[in-house]
């Protein structure tokens, strides 16, 4: 079957993914994409200005087209359809024949018919090309206006703000997000948005755009007022791209859009339409979830599943606009006859919540949440599944008082068929099945069901269902560290600190049972180190350390170790580099530059480690703690010392901070970054602690992460001097060490922190728990008792003699074998190691 897909946007690509998943072998698929690039995530378009690249936003996994054999043609706009001949012709004159044609042409931004809207520096907000043009214009602009205060308009305002412009939003309606939010919610939303530095002008009807006096443009409004600006972005809604349908006499919806039936077929049974270009029962859908559903339906129809039908879509939404939670569910405006509502407004914290219930008070019809949308998952499920409301439904949105738990929606109350993730259409039943098949973390659930993998709004509910199912199946869901301690890591930390406990035997005797294991021993060792900071290989402590900490190196797949000397701030002298190089050469080590701006030396056998370190120490190096759950590096850019843009000495600060916190043991590794100006060359916002120089001092960001799940760090204080900065970092790190779970990076810790960023700021900056001094004192103790572990290890004969491959033979481990690749060593693969293996052949007498 020859299938031609017109349009390679989010929905078009989902259709291709669905075809692949159905393993539809007879499909010969050609894809025409108008844009110069493959499908990307338009939902997160504004991230482009927050540092994401077009590649980051891409939705196409590498090798997708090569693997599927789908023929992708970019820069190819479909210009005409010949329904009788069943062909499509592109604007370049290429004609393709089809058996089935799928239109996923999307929509175009609506520009109101305002005189002057075609002037230069006026933009729309839809494609990466639009964004690139906006970015270019922003460089020569000071002020920007977004026309349209809807969902997309506010996203766009965030983009302008991220570009550093004075940002205004002009809206025709009396409130922001008029479709999703009511008047009271709109008021709170407006004040929150304005507090973020965006000026909002509602009830403004733009009549004309003319030359400005102070700026490039002047927007003249119907009420006689005006606003001057350097650039304008129109984001006043979207319109379906249905021109191909109109040219070919396909039926269209009453308000535009290509009319489709429940099978996603147009009035020509060989032509399908999906996504924003389609009108189902005269309704078009500007959200991605219904488009994805249509894509799946169309693919299944083509694969012969007659039973696959589109049954409409829930238009509930939850999003974060410039850090402000906004959510809207079902009948948000209370238009159902006889319905009644409950409202809660907190003007201090700027929170608004409303629920709309049925006339008999038994069912939830809709909701609006602004400022805090924690209840979204519960309320959505109640509305979608018609679950009976509790007796006093107002408590669903009122803040919990006196520590009483909110009447939540137990996961067990949801029917198996309840759709939990609307983006990827995942039911409760699918999540439970995944748990039964062994997925017991949110990451595994995402990987095998896709639940929560698109917008992430349902993650709390998915987690709740996962835990409930695990409990049902008898799996442990306590926060106990392991079978030996009926306590969480946080509780153990407290017990150690308060009880002055310094040994594992004492900890086990007082608070645990059994012999310990590979979970609790290193955890205890880390807590002891954070609290008392004794040498990690001293006496009994050595037996608690993971292999990496025991040998003070990172174990590699073949049992050899890597060696990383500390280079604070990434600064190293030529002599230092020569010394490192000489050691590497002498011991035949593989060398690689790390992401943390230092040098990693691989391939050292245990008995070589003390010799290598003796030489490195003699050359002035210290342990880099690359093996520890501890401070790794403080990455820096060269800063004001050399860089023409730098405003502060970032290297100097990085060196100072690395020396202050080196050796600090924590629940997981910690990385810092210091940038000398807002260009952020040190990528500090991807670090646990990120510091960015300003004209007046330093901005402090915390809880960022690169790696598996990138997370931007959040700003907690601005324009700090060095003393204030160090004090805040002391408090932050010690508070993290005190409260985090084992192996929990600061980013996950922050995501799970009750009360979120506001709470963290209150503890660190306002000292709301009254522990600020204590945290600083505890950190100062760690700083004052620092020692280079390698220096201690090589000078202690008792410790040093443990570094050998065999207790009864000085020979090296012959199983560690290297071969050469690109001029350096690498571990031999099993087949290359055969001669060496023969030497230690299995005994078979």
Partner 1 sequence: MSTKKPRWTAVCKIGDILPGTGVCALVEDHHVAVFRLGEDGFYAIDNIDPRSGASVLSRGLIGNLGEHLVVASPLYKNHFDLRTGACLEAPEHSVRAHRVQVRGEAVFVSLSTLS
Q: Which residues bind partner 1 (CB under 8 A)?
A: 483-484, 514-518, 520-522, 540, 542-544, 546-548, 550-551, 555, 557-559, 802, 805-809, 811, 813, 815-816, 830, 833, 839-845
Cα separation of 238 and 618, whole Å? Answer: 68
DSSP 709: S
Task: Write down the least CB distance from residue 829 to partner 1, Å.
Answer: 10
Q: Which is nearer to partner 1, 540 or 719 (CB)?
A: 540
Task: Write down the least CB distance from residue 493 to partner 1, Å.
Answer: 20
Cα separation of 384 and 364, whole Å? Answer: 9
Exposed/middle/buried for residue 552 (C-beta within 10 Å: 0-12, 13-18, 19+): buried
Q: Which is nearer to partner 1, 238 or 537 (CB)?
A: 537
Q: Which is nearer to partner 1, 40 or 627 (CB)?
A: 627
Query: Are the C-beta atoms of 47 and 17 separated by less than 8 Å?
Result: no
Strand order across the 689-694 sheet: 631-636, 670-675, 689-694, 697-702, 714-720
Phi, psi for residue 837 in degrees, rounded to 5: -65, -35
Cα separation of 341 and 357, whole Å? Answer: 6
Task: Write down the least CB distance from residue 503 to partner 1, Å.
Answer: 11
Q: Which is nearer to partner 1, 537 or 693 (CB)?
A: 537
Task: Write down the least CB distance from residue 739 to partner 1, Å.
Answer: 25
- Taken as a whole, the chain contains a residue count of 845
Cα separation of 816 and 561, whole Å? Answer: 11
Q: Which is nearer to partner 1, 70 or 627 (CB)?
A: 627
Q: What is the largest CA-CA distance in the chain?
A: 102
- The Cβ of residue 699 has, within 10 Å, a number of other Cβ atoms equal to 21
Task: Write down the least CB distance from residue 789 to partner 1, Å.
Answer: 17
- E-strand stretches of 249-321: 258-260, 271-273, 278-280, 317-321
Exposed/middle/buried for residue 823 (C-beta within 10 Å: 0-12, 13-18, 19+): exposed
Cα separation of 483 and 643, whole Å? Answer: 54
Task: Write down the least CB distance from residue 505 to partner 1, Å.
Answer: 9
Task: Write down the least CB distance from residue 587 to partner 1, Å.
Answer: 19
Phi, psi for residue 138 in degrees, rounded to 5: -65, -25
- E-strand stretches of 451-587: 554-555, 561-563
Residue 446, H or E segment: helix 442-449
DSSP 40: B
Query: Are the C-beta atoms of 174 and 183 separated by less than 8 Å?
Result: yes
DSSP 718: E
Q: Which is nearer to partner 1, 179 or 743 (CB)?
A: 743
Cα separation of 672 and 685, whole Å? Answer: 9
Task: Write down the least CB distance from residue 556 to partner 1, Å.
Answer: 8
Q: Give the burial string for 382-406 (b: 16+ CB within 10 Å, else e).
A: bbbbebebeeebeebbeeeeeeeee
Q: Which is nearer to partner 1, 498 or 515 (CB)?
A: 515
Task: Write down the least CB distance from residue 598 to partner 1, Å.
Answer: 24
Q: Which is nearer to partner 1, 89 or 547 (CB)?
A: 547
Task: Write down the least CB distance from residue 842 to partner 1, Å.
Answer: 7
Phi, psi for residue 458 in degrees, rounded to 5: -95, 0
Q: Which is nearer to partner 1, 723 or 811 (CB)?
A: 811
Q: Which is nearer to partner 1, 66 or 838 (CB)?
A: 838
Task: Write down the least CB distance from residue 742 to partner 1, Å.
Answer: 13
Q: Which is nearer to partner 1, 405 or 841 (CB)?
A: 841
Q: Which is nearer to partner 1, 139 or 515 (CB)?
A: 515
Task: Write down the least CB distance from residue 514 to partner 1, Å.
Answer: 5
Task: Write down the least CB distance from residue 624 to partner 1, Å.
Answer: 20
DSSP 283: B
Task: Write down the least CB distance from residue 560 to partner 1, Å.
Answer: 8
Task: At 530, list the tokens.
Answer: 């954070």
* Terminal C-alpha separation, the chain: 64
Q: Which is nearer to partner 1, 549 or 688 (CB)?
A: 549
- The Cβ of residue 286 has, within 10 Å, a number of other Cβ atoms equal to 18
State the DSSP string of 635-677.
EE--GGGT-SS--S-HHHHHHHHHHHHTT-B-SS-EEEEEESS
What are the residue ranges of helices labelled H in 62-170? 64-68, 128-138, 151-162
Q: Which is nearer to partner 1, 555 or 771 (CB)?
A: 555
Task: Write down the least CB distance from residue 483 to partner 1, Å.
Answer: 7
- 693 DSSP β-pair partners: 698
Residue 243, H or E segment: helix 243-247
Q: Which is nearer to partner 1, 197 or 514 (CB)?
A: 514
């Amino acid at each position: 079957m020859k299938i031609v897909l017109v349009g390679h946007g989010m929905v078009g690509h989902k259709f291709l993914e669905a075809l692949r998943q159905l393993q539809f072998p007879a499909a010969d698929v050609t894809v025409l994409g108008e844009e110069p690039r493959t499908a990307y995530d338009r939902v997160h378009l504004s991230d482009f200005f927050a540092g994401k690249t077009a590649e980051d936003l891409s939705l196409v996994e590498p090798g997708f087209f090569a693997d599927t054999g789908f023929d992708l043609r970019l820069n190819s706009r479909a210009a005409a359809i010949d329904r009788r001949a069943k062909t499509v012709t592109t604007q370049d004159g290429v004609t393709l024949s089809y058996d089935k044609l799928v239109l996923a042409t999307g929509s175009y931004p609506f520009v109101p018919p305002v005189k002057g809207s075609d002037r230069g520096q006026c933009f729309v907000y839809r494609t990466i090309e639009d964004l690139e043009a906006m970015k270019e214009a922003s460089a020569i602009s000071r002020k920007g206006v977004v026309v349209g205060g809807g969902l997309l308009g506010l996203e766009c305002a965030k983009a302008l703000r991220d570009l550093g412009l004075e940002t205004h939003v002009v809206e025709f309606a009396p409130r922001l997000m008029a479709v999703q939010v009511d008047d009271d919610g709109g008021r709170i939303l407006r004040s929150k948005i304005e507090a973020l530095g965006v000026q909002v002008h509602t009830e403004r009807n733009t009549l004309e755009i003319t030359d400005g006096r102070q700026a490039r443009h002047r927007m003249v409004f119907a009420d006689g007022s005006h606003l001057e600006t350097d650039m304008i972005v129109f984001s006043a809604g979207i319109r379906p791209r249905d021109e191909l349908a109109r040219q070919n006499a396909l039926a269209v919806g009453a308000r535009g859009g290509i009319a489709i039936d429940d099978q996603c077929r147009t009035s020509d049974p060989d032509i399908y339409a999906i996504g924003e270009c389609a009108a189902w029962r005269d309704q078009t859908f500007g959200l991605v979830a219904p488009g994805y559903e249509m894509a799946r339906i169309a693919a299944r129809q083509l694969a012969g599943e007659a039973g696959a039908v589109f049954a409409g879509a829930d238009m509930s939404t939850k999003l974060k606009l410039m850090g402000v939670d906004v959510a809207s569910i079902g009948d948000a405006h209370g238009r159902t006859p006889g319905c009644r509502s409950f409202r809660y407004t907190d003007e201090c914290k700027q929170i608004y919540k409303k629920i709309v219930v049925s006339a008999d008070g038994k069912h939830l019809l809709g909701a609006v949440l602004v400022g805090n949308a924690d209840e979204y998952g519960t309320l959505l499920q109640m509305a979608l599944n018609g679950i009976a409301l509790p007796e006093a439904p107002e408590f669903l949105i009122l803040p919990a008082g006196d520590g009483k738990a909110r009447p939540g929606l137990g996961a067990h109350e949801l029917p198996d068929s309840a759709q939990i993730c609307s983006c990827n259409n995942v039911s409760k039943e699918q999540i439970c099945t995944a748990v039964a098949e062994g997925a017991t973390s949110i990451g595994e659930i995402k990987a095998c069901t896709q639940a929560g993998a698109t917008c992430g709004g349902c993650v709390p509910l998915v987690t709740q269902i996962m835990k409930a199912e695990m409990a049902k199946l008898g799996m442990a869901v306590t926060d106990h560290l392991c079978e030996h301690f009926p306590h969480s890591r946080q509780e153990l930390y407290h017990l150690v600190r308060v009880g002055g406990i310094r040994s594992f035997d004492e900890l086990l005797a007082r608070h645990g049972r059994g012999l310990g294991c590979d979970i609790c021993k290193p955890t205890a060792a880390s807590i002891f180190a954070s609290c008392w900071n004794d040498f990690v290989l001293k006496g009994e402590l050595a037996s608690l350390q993971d292999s990496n900490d025991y040998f003070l190196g990172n174990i590699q797949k073949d049992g050899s170790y890597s060696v990383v000397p500390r280079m604070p701030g990434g600064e190293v002298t030529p002599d230092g580099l020569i010394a490192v190089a000489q050691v590497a050469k002498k011991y035949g080590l593989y060398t690689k530059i790390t992401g943390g701006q230092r040098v990693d030396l691989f391939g050292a056998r245990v008995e070589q480690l003390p010799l290598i370190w003796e030489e490195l120490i003699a050359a002035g190096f210290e342990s880099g703690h690359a093996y520890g759950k501890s401070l790794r590096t403080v990455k820096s850019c060269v800063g004001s010392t050399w860089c023409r843009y730098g405003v502060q000495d970032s290297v100097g600060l990085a060196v100072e901070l690395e020396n202050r916190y080196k050796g600090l043991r924590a629940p997981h590794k910690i990385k810092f970054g210091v940038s000398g100006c807002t260009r952020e060359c040190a990528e500090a916002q991807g670090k646990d602690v990120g510091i960015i120089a300003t004209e007046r001092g330093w901005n402090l960001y915390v809880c960022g992460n690169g790696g598996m799940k990138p997370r931007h760090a959040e700003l907690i204080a601005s324009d700090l001097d060095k003393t204030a900065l160090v004090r805040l970092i002391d408090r932050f790190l010690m508070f993290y060490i005190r409260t985090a779970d084992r192996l929990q990076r600061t980013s996950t810790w922050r995501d799970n922190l009750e009360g979120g960023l506001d709470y963290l700021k209150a503890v660190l900056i306002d000292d709301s728990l009254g522990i600020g001094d204590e945290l600083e004192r505890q950190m100062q103790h760690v700083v004052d008792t620092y020692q280079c572990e390698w220096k201690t290890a090589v000078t202690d004969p008792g410790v040093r003699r443990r570094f050998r491959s065999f207790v009864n033979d000085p020979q090296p481990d012959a199983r560690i074998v290297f071969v050469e690749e690109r001029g350096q060593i690498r571990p031999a693969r099993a087949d290359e190691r055969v001669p060496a293996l023969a030497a230690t052949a299995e005994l078979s007498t």
